[in-house]
Amino acid sequence: MTRYKLTSYVLVSCLILIGFSILAGCTQNVPDTTIVKTDAGYISGINDNENGLRIYLGVPYASPPTGDLRWRSTVPMQPWTGIRSASEFSAFCPQPPHSDTSGDGMSEDCLYLNVWTPAKSADEKLPVMVFIHGGAFAEGTGSYPLFNGSALARKGVVVVTFNYRLGALGFLAHPQLNNESINNASGNYGILDQQAALNWVQKNIGNFGGEPSRVTIFGQSAGGASILVHLVSPQSKGLYQQAIVQSGPIWTNGTILNIYNSKADAKRYGEEYAKSLGYESPDAITQMRKLSAEDLVNNTPWPASAFWRIRTLRFKPAIDGWIIPDFPDNMFLQRRENPVPLIVGCNANDGITLTANANMSVPEYQAFIRNVFGKNADAVLAKYPAVTPDEVQLQLNHLMTDYDFKDSAKFVAGSMADIHPNTYLYLYSYELPNQPYGALHSSELFMVFRPPGTYPDPTSTRVSANMMDLWTRFAKTGDPNGGVNVTWPKYTREHGQYLDIGDTLTVRSITDYRKP
């Protein structure tokens, strides 16, 4: 072999070897396109190439509320070094042992959120939808499979879900906690968590391709009631631009649901709870901070009957004069809420599962009505008569649906319509296949989120497509119209109309909204 040929052979061989080395190096160090910078550090998520999404699960938005941080205002997350994995859901917040989400996945270290984004870069500035889960302020999690944000995100929005402190850990008020607070306030730690998550969105969502000036908060049941709190809380103003309330009751003194505690009642319930644990001393809270979260949760009353569970709920938002200045229904009555575009509504049969197992005789039902309605009791009993235990159950469902949910939605819509034109009222009436109880509480969530494999029948598919179009179009523009072939009128007191979301979309007069 000539010197020239040998030199050429060696050169080519070297180039081939170098090429393989470069290829091997690239294979081992493929750039992670999911890496995103947050204000506390870098995270890496999941590439869902099939759906064109990037997904981030278990992202911390606050420091763990454990030890001395239990029953304190939410503390920002401490920065970390390196790249933190965000590919698995976090533990959910401690909750009763018989709740749907209780089990080994519980931890007091639970202040995490989840993000689904279709954005390919931070420059896209997509609208953001932040969901607040329900569960009577006592159970639930943002990682529940029903709240999978993939389907909504594919509609061109960034979706965020999160956990917040629940039950006694999230809503305990106590004089000693008031003394620790510079605002002389306690009991709304779960709401403070929600505000911390919304603050995190404002600071960080731009790096996920979201637009912090186009944030829609939406929630269902206790999550819907939470949205109403944010609409009146001074600390929440500016953290969102639009809101959707799904079956969110507002009454301080409803028929069955009493959503808010007065400051005095919250303090009294907290003292009674501490006493039930054996703590009445000046250092009761110090001692209770040493208890396990499980001990606190397991010693919180949790009746088996859904009716009595929500009727006797003690740990819930309190009118502390700081986070919540006044009862939200008073503030809406005085039109003191934040004027923003709003969708509000409820389900046609919201009350049926929530009044389950009331186990009330006819005389007990009549006494209950007289206690709740006072001088108006005879008129209520005439409209909602019951002569058998089965009829008692039926009428409790009608009462709760009409007074606690439908009247709440109409009241909120009327107040907001007075101060902002983009107000829309709905009634969800679609009955899921093989569901004998009608459009029951929370059933619309299957249509809004459309988790994988959910109700693939043609009618459900159409109803879900309609709801997702309305919800995401509202998130994008502040107006749900422009996609479906029905125009949803803005709500006004003078010409009240609402959208009936059933097998089809139908505009109806407000006179049809509440028919027992």
Please state the rounded mean pLDDT for residues 374-400: 94
pLDDT value at residue 363: 95
- The token pair at 128 is 């953001």
Task: Spell out the domains of the chain, with CATH numbers in brackets.
Answer: 36-357+402-508 (3.40.50.1820)
143 is catalytic: no
Within 10 angstroms of residue 25's Cβ, the number of other Cβ atoms is: 9
Q: Is 156 left (phi over 0), alpha (psi -120 to 50) or beta?
A: left
- Ramachandran angles phi, psi of 428, nearest 5°: -90, 120
- The token pair at 313 is 């709920």
Q: Which of 512, 259, 220 is nearest to 404 (CA)?
A: 259
Query: Which stretches of 372-449 are assigned E, i.e. beta strand?
Result: 423-428
pLDDT value at residue 514: 81
Please state the rounded mean pLDDT for residues 307-329: 93
Task: Name the pairing type of β-strands 497-501 and 423-428.
Answer: parallel
pLDDT value at residue 98: 63
> Reduced to 3 states, what is the DSSP secondary structure of residue 452?
coil
Cβ contacts of 328 within 8 Å, gap of 6 or more:
228, 229, 231, 232, 250, 252, 259, 260, 337
Confidence of residue 26 (pLDDT cuts 50, 70, 90): very low
Contact 74, 193 (CB under 8 A): yes
Contact 173, 270 (CB under 8 A): yes
Identify the active-site residue in 221, 236, 408, 415: 221
**Total residues belonging to the chain:** 516
Residues forming beta bridges with residue 207, ordered by sequence position: none
Within 10 angstroms of residue 77's Cβ, the number of other Cβ atoms is: 20
Confidence of residue 435 (pLDDT cuts 50, 70, 90): confident
pLDDT tens digit sequence for 230-263: 999 999 999 999 999 999 999 998 899 889 999 9
**Cα–Cα distance for residue pair 13/36, rounded to 1 Å:** 40
Task: Give the 3-state secondary structure of 380-397.
Answer: HHHHCCCCCHHHHHHHHH
Task: Name the pairing type of β-strands 41-44 and 53-60.
Answer: unpaired
Please state the rounded mean pLDDT for residues 68-96: 95
| Percent of the chain clearing pLDDT 90 (strictly above) | 82
**Cα–Cα distance for residue pair 449/447, rounded to 1 Å:** 6
**Cα–Cα distance for residue pair 219/2, rounded to 1 Å:** 80
DSSP element (H, E) containing 80:
none
Q: Which of 491, 467, 445 is nearest to 220 (CA)?
A: 445
pLDDT value at residue 328: 96
pLDDT value at residue 28: 42
Average pLDDT, the chain: 91
- The token pair at 142 is 């943002």
